[in-house]
Amino acid sequence: MSKTRESITGYVGPMFAQKTLLMLHEISAAEATGRYVLLFKPDIDDRYSKNIVRSRAGGKHKATPVDVNHPETIYDILNKRRLPIDIIAFDEIQFFKPEVVKVIRDITQSGIQVVYSGLNRNYRGDSFSPTIEKILPLTTHLTVAEAKCMFPLNGNHRLCGADATMTQRLINGQPDSYKSPTVIIEKPGTSITYEARCLEHWIVPDLPQNRKINHHPYS
Ligand SMILES: [Zn+2]
């Protein structure tokens, strides 16, 4: 048996960091050279449409929705497929149950490359999920993408614009508490929005004392 080289490429970062766009770019470059790509997405993410992955920054690709609680259904999908596969891609990998990591290992051991994009941290600044913790050490090509801080500066129409590594959650325009759940559903009368923020403008009420960042340690 010939030894295959494991190739897992990951694009992680906060929201608005164009992670999906980076992944779609990699997919289209592969397809341009005749590679066959299969893209999976969580069945819970209906932001745009069920069978398409679309980047906020433009770009789209057809995708197969997968039940996040049963990533092993991917084996059935692969077994039924007639065309060869060179690359299997996952959008929003953080939403899948950790069993997806075993599926990914099996895929790479059969010589297929894996590409994924996802949130590395939740709005609290903590690891988003056990899945992201398990896939990061296996990733052979990792890009940590940054966004630009969307904090509005007083007195003019500009936003902060500094490199943003954090995702800010706002409930009716106000920073959400550290104690809220990681994934929440919008209720009538409540608006949930997200912004990319730099560390200085990332605000999480009830952040545990040992997690607080001293912005001016030497002043
Ligand atoms: Zn900022």
**pTM exceeding the 0.75 threshold for the entire prediction:** yes
The pLDDT score that the predictor gives to residue 214 is 60
Give the distance (Å) from ligand 1 centre to CA of residue 113: 36
On whether the CB atoms of residues 24 and 59 are closer than 8 A, the answer is: yes
Write down the domain spans for the chain: 8-145, 147-205
The pLDDT score that the predictor gives to residue 219 is 43
pLDDT tens-digit series, residues 28-41: 999 999 999 999 99
pLDDT tens-digit series, residues 87-122: 999 999 999 999 999 999 999 999 999 999 999 999
Give the distance (Å) from ligand 1 centre to CA of residue 16: 14
CATH classification of 147-205, choosing from 3.30.60.20, 3.40.430.10, 3.40.50.2300, 3.30.360.10? 3.30.60.20
pLDDT tens-digit series, residues 168-205: 999 999 999 999 998 888 888 999 999 999 999 999 99
Active-site residue flag, 200: no
Could you tell me which residue, 192 or 44, shows the higher pLDDT? 192
- Point out the catalytic residue in the list 26, 31, 92, 195: 92
Q: Does domain 8-145 have CATH number 3.40.50.300?
A: yes
The pLDDT score that the predictor gives to residue 1 is 44
State the burial class of residue 72 (Cβ atoms within 10 Å of its Cβ: 0-12, 13-18, 19+).
middle
Give the distance (Å) from ligand 1 centre to CA of residue 167: 11
